[in-house]
Structure 1
Amino acid sequence: MRRRLINSTLAVVLVVIAVFGVSLVIVETRTITNSAQERVDSEAVRLVSIVDSRLIGDERITADILRDQVDPTRFAQIRLHGRAPIDVGTRPKGEVIRATEHGEAGETVTVEEPRTTVTDEVGRTLLIIGAVALLAIIAAVVLAVRQGNRLTAPLIDLAETAERLGSGDPRPRHKRYGVHELDRVADVLDSSAERIARMLTAERRLAADASHQLRTPLTALSMRLEEIALTDDLDTVKDEATIALTQVERLTDVVERLLTNSRDPRTGSAVSFDLDEVVKQQVEEWRPAYRSAGRAIVRSGKQQLRAVGTPGAVAQVLAALIENSLMHGGGTVALRTRVTGNQSVIEVTDEGNGVPHDLGARIFERTISGRNSTGIGLAVARDLAEADGGRLELLQSKPPVFALFLSRTHPRKPADDDPGAAGTTPR
């Protein structure tokens, strides 16, 4: 592109020089020729007036007397009636510029100038025009190179930016070049980089959430299959297989929930459900894992509670809290249910050391963990709780008490025929 820009600029300059330069040479040549002719004519008129005055005064007319009146580069000849011609200067050879004037006494004055003087002056003019044209060409090349660098350097930079985007580096550069069109391209690339960065972040988050959330159901399913493999009792096999199928359904629900949250974390499908059933299911699923760790998991509190939410999501939240207690807590884990106002509350507590004081306010942030873990589980649990209008809080740091708050009734939606929904007041 730089070469094309320089070539096109040079072509334009050369065309301009050719058009205007040739015209200027023609005009200047005519001007110089006319000026030389006018000088010779003026010389002849002046010289004939001198001869006339001397003839009227009956003075002598010789070449020596008139030599000072004639330019040294010119030749003059005076013809008087009845006398030999008087030559002043040296007659030029070759082409000449000639002027002839007649006096009142019948004399004739001829002045000649060699045309080489015109040729020399035209040559000097051509040199000046050529020098100006050369300077114009040099200036055009310099400007073309600078303009080419100004345009091609940003294009190379934008190409590198696009290549970085293609190679997986979506960081926007926020670099501008002072050229509106190029700045517009840079704006589009930066916007694309930000969108790609958000998409990559969402994909990484989905992958991290999936690996974390699927681990628990898969572990529970693996334990059930091990129970089936270790027993010969057909009834036990049937019971364990039924529980395993339930866990497969939960696993499917986890996958669907993760995909839904990856598109929009606020698209909950809340329904009224039996909270006791979900709590009981979680206790039964996690009891083998706690038994293997030499610990116990129990439930207590108010029975026959109902709540509004997504059963699968609530089960995932409780599973995250129970797993958190298994990994980081100690002693017996207790699930207590109670009612406060219009909300059903499930508290999960254990007898461990609790949450460090410096992490208490940030425990639900991603990558925040009190030990060597991913720090994803509680963050995902809070997102799942909030998706259906609930909330997950840390009520107490030591011993740790996590509480899941769920509404007991659906929020009232204004009906289409409700006058208040339209913003009017019934009369």
Structure 2
Amino acid sequence: MRRQLAGLVAAITSLVLIAFLAPIALLLRSEAAERAISVATLDAQSTAQQLPGLVNGSLPDDGRTTVFLANGKVLGTPAAKSPSVELALRGESFVAETTGGREVMLGVVSTDGNAVVRVFIANSALYAGVTRTWALLALLGVTLFVLGMVVADRIGRRMVAPVLALAGTADRLRRGDMSARTVPAGPPEVQQVGRELNQLADRIDELLSTARAEAADLAHRLRTPLTALRLDIDGLRDPQEAARLADSLRDLTVEVDELIRTARRPVRSGAAPAADLAVVARERLTFWSALAEDIGRPLTGEIPERQVIVRAGADDLGAVFDVLLDNAFRHTPTDSAVRLVVQEDGQAWVEDAGQGLSPAAATAPGTTGLGLDIARRTAAASGGSLHLEDSPLGGVRARLVTPLLGEAALVAGHDQDGDE
């Protein structure tokens, strides 16, 4: 918008300056010529008054004045007897164009015969001072043009600033900050857009709240049939069938719990969530270490002492670690080692020494796919991502990538935002 406004102002200013300065320049040129001709005419008249004393004398050569006498004698600056001189000898007075300038012809009628006083005006004298005046006009035009562009830029900034504020508010809403609102400013049309954007945000906030409330209510309603189903499974006589159904029920329960947890998450968040990844990982490692010790499973951790502030909530990070550790415990032999690693660049992973798990198997029904899917959604909701890789221990590495939000890593956090 600013470029378009600047281009429009530049075009209009140029047209106005040309329409204003061009006639003035031509007028000044014409005035200079008229002034030079007037001076030459006065000189010719002054010389004509001296003719009685010049008939038998001479006229100094000033490079511009010539007197043609009736007897054919030429006084002053030598000049050819042109048709203009012949016409002036008849008593005519006029200004004529000639090579290199103009000539003022003054016919003098006397009893001793007609004479002609010719005053030549060179072009350099005819338009003396015009070049300097035109340069001043050009400087004035450039100055006015620059001032016009500066004013246009200021006006453009005032017009664009409210639009940029609207774009910033829309971007915050896109990123999930439902508290983002704009202050209507600028032209009335832009203010109207700002008010409509605020109303749209309010409506989205209301719809999200309603949807979450309905989802939470639905999830709570599922609790009762799940409890009844668990009792029915416990009453089965076939232990293998009961174990299989219990695993399926456990996965379904995890999904319902995740649904309830997501539904209870606040819709409005005035500030971006932030948590210390190292602290959360250390807490979950302590929690799972008790279980690992009871069952005799090797569980280790590599967590830095310094803070690793990431753009994610502590509850979300804890839920992801719980899912990853639970998968490692449930789907590897009891004696298989499990390791939790946190890096200062915002990455963390849980890896095991089991038999490994292909990505295709990770999404298959009845495997770890359900839990990992929950972890992926939780990580994505926090602006991160989850990747399955081969572990140097021989099993699977589930690597969590979260954007940094520490002061020292602000640039890295912005770069990762752009990748998302």
The TM-score normalised by the length of structure 1 is 0.41
Larger Rg computed on CA atoms: 1
* TM-score normalized by the length of structure 2: 0.41
